[in-house]
Amino acid sequence: MRYHLLTLGCAKNTVDSMRLEQALRGGRHVAVDAPEDADLLVVNTCGFIDAAKAESIEVVRELQASRRVDQRLYVVGCMTQIARDELIEAVPGVDATYGVEAWDAIAADIGPASASFDIPDASPGLLGGGAPSAYLKISDGCDRPCTFCIIPSIKGRMHSMEADRLLAEARWHAATGVRELVLVAQDSTAYGEDHDAPDSLAPLLERLSAAVPEVPWIRLMYAYPGRVTPRLAETMARLPNVVPYVDMPLQHGSDAVLRRMKRPSLRVARRSLELLRAAMPDVTLRTTFIVGFPGETDAEFEELLAFVEAERFDHLGAFTYSPQPGTPAALDPGQVPTAVKEERYARLMELGQRLSLEANRAQVGRELDVLVESREPTTSRGGGPVSVGRTLRDAPEVDGLALLKGSYAAGSMVRARVDGALHYDLLCSPLEAAPALAAAAGPRRARRRIR
Ligand code: SF4
């Protein structure tokens, strides 16, 4: 059977889709890029916030409206785990729904492919999606008590993946030509806590770094404030292929709001930031905030802006708060009007954009490696070819880009000088001549991203 898989939501969902693909490939089914070429359409949904649910419904509705009668449509993942009825009501007629971590059950439901299909067991293009970066999910689920978050209800208790399995996955990615491994989890710094082994992220990084020395970038996402230990910061600084980059969602910059969110205080967050900056003076810091949390006053929002200004994050993402049924914050009577939330969101993003531009301007004149992601160069205003990639300061899909003069194959790591800065992106010139551009191989993984 030919399947077309569409992945919505976050990086963790991307890894879940890879698990589903492994199960489907075990049945010798074949991925296709275009929905019209598929016998089976699968949407791996996101249900994290209202906007994610709305996007999931819209995507499923589009596929339902355009599919042929001989095409099956399966809807799986977070939204169907927590709001299956809502989806079915909005889009009646889908063939099957599954929640999270039901990958083997889905493959069993579909059954093996007919014998007429014969695909290689380990085609790097198929398995790796042809992308130079890959996600490695080191744990799933979450034990934290954040009052706005539905994730623990969707994913359950935190459970760490076995280190040996992660090393094997990392080696496999390296063998397929992956140049960047991005470590994801709901809370990456909790790794090992479910086995009474706190502070296990540092030894995991050591083992990963040694297992795949040919992978130049290993990147850490989703650290929890207060869980960055001196050992973790020192280990990151020491390992040559762990990049000095940390994503630490902080959610707010007012202690009163953080208390209502049941999140760590600003003192705790600052201590983690200080540890990282002391160990890695050039560390790139990304964070995420929620605006319009119930009861957020003008003064509390101003505290958030002042905190962001003081900490000067390199990259900043934001959400407007949306109440999730089943969470304590959804019952709070102090819901903030939508117009106020949107106005605060715009002000925060404007500040984040200015700080991002200032951080980018500070890079001008520096020499950095650019990991090329584009399969074909685009064209500059002057008519010359431009390859699109990233420096180690930017995580895939959420941060900025590096626009590199010249034609380079996807997966190339090119030494370059930063010539200019845009709000989110860097303009770069190569310090080495471009080789003849080889055709990039491998199908694209069908995916959409909302945050
Ligand atoms: S730490 Fe993250 S995933 Fe866990 S409950 Fe809080 S917001 Fe949700």
For ligand 1, atom 2: residue with the closest CA? 186
The ligand 1 atom nearest the CA atom of 263: 6
Retrieve residue 330's tokens. 């959804």
Q: Which amino acid is at 84?
A: R
The ligand 1 atom nearest the CA atom of 145: 5
Mean pLDDT of 355-375: 95
pLDDT digits (tens, 9 = 90+) for 53-69: 899 999 999 999 999 98
Residue 152: phi, psi to the nearest 5? -60, -30
CATH 2.40.50.140 fits 367-430, yes or no: yes
- Residue 212: what pLDDT? 98
The ligand 1 atom nearest the CA atom of 149: 8
Q: Which amino acid is at 3?
A: Y
DSSP notation for 295-317? T--HHHHHHHHHHHHHHT-SEEE
Retrieve residue 211's tokens. 């297992």
The rounded distance, in Å, linking the Cα atoms of 447 and 185 is 19
* Model confidence at 231: pLDDT above 90: yes
At 160 the three-state DSSP class reads: strand
Global model pTM greater than 0.85: no
Q: Does 186 contact ligand 1 (Cβ within 6 A)?
A: yes
H or E stretch covering 261: helix 255-261
The rounded distance, in Å, linking the Cα atoms of 280 and 204 is 19
Name the burial class of residue 18, with classes exposed (0-12), middle (13-18) and buried (19+) by CB atoms within 10 angstroms of its CB.
buried
CATH architecture of 124-361: Alpha-Beta Horseshoe (3.80)
Count of alpha carbons within 13 Å of 394, Cβ hemisphere only? 26
Cβ–Cβ under 8 Å, residues 286 and 398: yes
pLDDT digits (tens, 9 = 90+) for 113-124: 654 433 333 333
pLDDT digits (tens, 9 = 90+) for 393-407: 999 989 999 999 999
pLDDT digits (tens, 9 = 90+) for 236-284: 999 999 999 999 999 999 999 999 999 999 999 999 999 999 999 999 9
| 413 CA from centroid of ligand 1 (Å) | 34
Domain with CATH 3.40.50.12160 in the chain: 2-110
| 149 CA from centroid of ligand 1 (Å) | 6
For ligand 1, atom 6: residue with the closest CA? 146
Q: Nearest-CA neighbor of 174 among 113, 133, 231, 226?
A: 133
Domain with CATH 2.40.50.140 in the chain: 367-430
The rounded distance, in Å, linking the Cα atoms of 418 and 406 is 14
The rounded distance, in Å, linking the Cα atoms of 79 and 178 is 30
DSSP structure class, residue 433? P
> Which one is the CATH code of 2-110: 3.40.50.12160, 3.40.50.300, 3.40.50.2300, 3.40.50.720?
3.40.50.12160
182: β partners: 135, 219
**Residue-wise burial string across 270-296, b where 16 or more C-beta atoms lie within 10 A, e elsewhere:** eebbebbeebbeebbbbbbbbbbbbeb
